[in-house]
Amino acid sequence: MLDFTSDTIDERLSSQTSEQLPANDQILLDAYSNAVISVTDRVGPAVVRVETGPKVRTPRERGGLGSGIVISPDGLVLTNSHVVGSAKEIRLRDTEGFVTDAHVLGVDPDTDLALLRADGARDLRYALLGNSKTLRRGQLVIAIGNPLGFESTVTAGVVSALGRSIRSVSGRTIEDVIQTDAALNPGNSGGPLVSSKAEVIGINTAIINGAQGICFAVASNTAQFVLSEIIRHGYVRRAYIGVSGQTAPVPRRHAVLAGVDNKMGALLAQIEPDGPAAKAGLLPGDVVIKLDGIEINGVDDLIRVLDRDHIGKKLAMDVLRMGRLRAIDILPIERKPAGR
């Protein structure tokens, strides 16, 4: 004789569980969905499609496609510098299909950001830049853009990591980058990464080909700095000393002889004639280990120190030359703005 008692009990437990879980899941799902829907309704209309190149394209004249976010009602738009590149013709298309020409106010390849002005457009829907310093890992974020040409696409995920560093197209390091698993594809570039408060906390900039769920956005605080510099000066002001170099190890015997703790430094490969470095007496082969009292452990550290606050300010630099420590005073100048 077969005993169905245990099966009957299991079925009852299963039925009771299935009746309870959907209700709880529904509450959680509604809260999550409502957060994404609310953010999309508020920020979505401020996201634009950025088209570059001629309106009528030929096989030889190919245009580009990306996204942007309107940050003021008079038509200021943030996007990536690699989206606009050196394009002479730029058009913006909003969610309602309205198209307007735009021009570039300034670009900053070092952070992969660009600021555009929509021509002849006023009272546009816009989004607010939030404070990216308040972000926490695991926080819900929403990406809005035009991936692969599919307009007004919304994806959601979380902040996977904070404080990442990635290499920009200019070769410099972009600091304080947000890593997210919100799905991004070509065409999302320049679009906003938005918090559940409907604040733009990042500008989507890069994906890693071959990886899944690893995407990056330039932090909104960086974007705010670049925005203010471009509005004020037309470009981002940075200090310049006229050298090219690479990160290199400091031989242990040289470090001991010089009494320094650096394991790495910035090895100078070339010195620009008549530049600040040449005037200060720097030579190819010198290894910079300290600048303005800040330890230099590579080229990225050297670039990071040379910000706008050090333009025209005499700085103390420590270098290793032939294994011996030398102190040099150098006067950085303002770097020429990036051309388009």
Catalytic site residues? 82, 112, 189
User: What's the rounded Cα separation, in Å, for the pair 144 and 156?
Assistant: 9
Joined together, the tokens standing for residue 46 give 């401020």
The CA distances from residue 159 to 51, 68, 204, 216, 220, in Å, are 29, 20, 13, 10, 14
Q: Are 168 and 174 in contact (CB under 8 A)?
A: yes
DSSP 171: S
CA angle at 110 for the pair 144 and 329, rounded to the nearest 5°? 150
Quote helix, strand, coil % in the chain, to nearest 5.
25, 40, 35
User: What's the rounded Cα separation, in Å, for the pair 246 and 110?
Assistant: 17
Q: Are 50 and 92 in contact (CB under 8 A)?
A: yes
User: What's the rounded Cα separation, in Å, for the pair 164 and 174?
Assistant: 8
Question: Which 3 state secondary structure label does DSSP give 112?
Answer: coil
**Could you tell me which residues are beta bridge partners of residue 245?**
268
Q: Are 199 and 128 in contact (CB under 8 A)?
A: yes
Among 325, 302, 317, 318, residue whose Cα is nearest residue 255: 325
